[in-house]
Every structure is written in structure tokens, then in C-alpha cells.
Amino acid sequence: MIKKISVILIITLFAISVAYAVNVNDLQVPSDFSGKRSDGNYFMPKTYDNPRFIIGEFNDSSPSFKNSSMYEFWSSGEKDIFCFSNRQASDMGAIELIQIDGKKYTVSVLYASTIIDEDYINDSINYLKEFNKLNNITPIKP
């Protein structure tokens, strides 16, 4: 009897996990970005073009999360969410790494500005936190 109950529980848990499996195309983005969706997973705000919400595939040779000649990355103070800016201060925001069905994706909020603006950085972090909450996702360590 215990074996039958165990088998039923395992099958039930499997069925539930399949029903709740997340596809990258099914992810919800914060409502501020519900206006326009471009090719791939690139979201624009409702009424203006700043900031941009970007979901892209990640590969280990990607320069994301590594200080390079073009971008600088630093800890945001939130677990596994990082801030970034290019050295000319025209791109800035926050970025995280997520994993869905064994594939890794970067999720970022990008602002274009002529100066590094702390409000933009904080907004970017808050958008990522909202995205994580909407999708019940926890970023992973890059």
C-alpha cells in the first residue's frame, strides 16, 4: 500500500512540475514594458524608448558579468543582480542570469543616458526584482 501511495505521489509531482514548467517565451515582464515587443525577447516601454528590457541567451564566452574594455560590472547589493555601465556612460542598467530548462539567459534593463544616473540604476534593479517576482524566478550566480 505504501509503495502504491509513493508511486501516485511521484506521478502527481511529475505532472505538476510539467504543468508549471516555464518557457522563456511565456515569461511575464513588468507592466511598464507591455507596449512593444521586437524581434526575439526585446521589450520596449509603453510610451518612450528608455529603458529597454532584454532577455537573451547566454553562453560562457559572453562578456556579460566580466569587466572588459567596453563594460564594467559591479554588485548591486541584491543577490546575483549586477549593475553595469559602459565606460562612456551612455549605456547603464542592471543584469542577472537565470536558468530555464537547462538553458541560461541574461535578463537586463538598459538605459541610454549621457551620465551615470543612480535613479536609472535603482530603477533597473527594481524592474529585475519585479520580473523575478512575476515569474517566481531566482537569479543564479554567473
pTM confidence score: 0.76
Walk along the chain (142 residues) and give the pLDDT tens digit of each residue.
Answer: 444 433 344 454 444 443 345 567 778 888 777 655 655 555 666 555 678 888 888 988 877 888 877 888 999 999 999 999 987 767 899 999 999 989 999 999 988 887 778 888 999 999 999 999 999 999 999 9
| 44-84 residue pLDDT tens | 665 556 788 888 889 888 778 888 778 889 999 999 999 99
CB 30 within 8 A of CB 128: no
Sign, CA torsion 129/53/123/78: positive
CB 40 within 8 A of CB 114: no
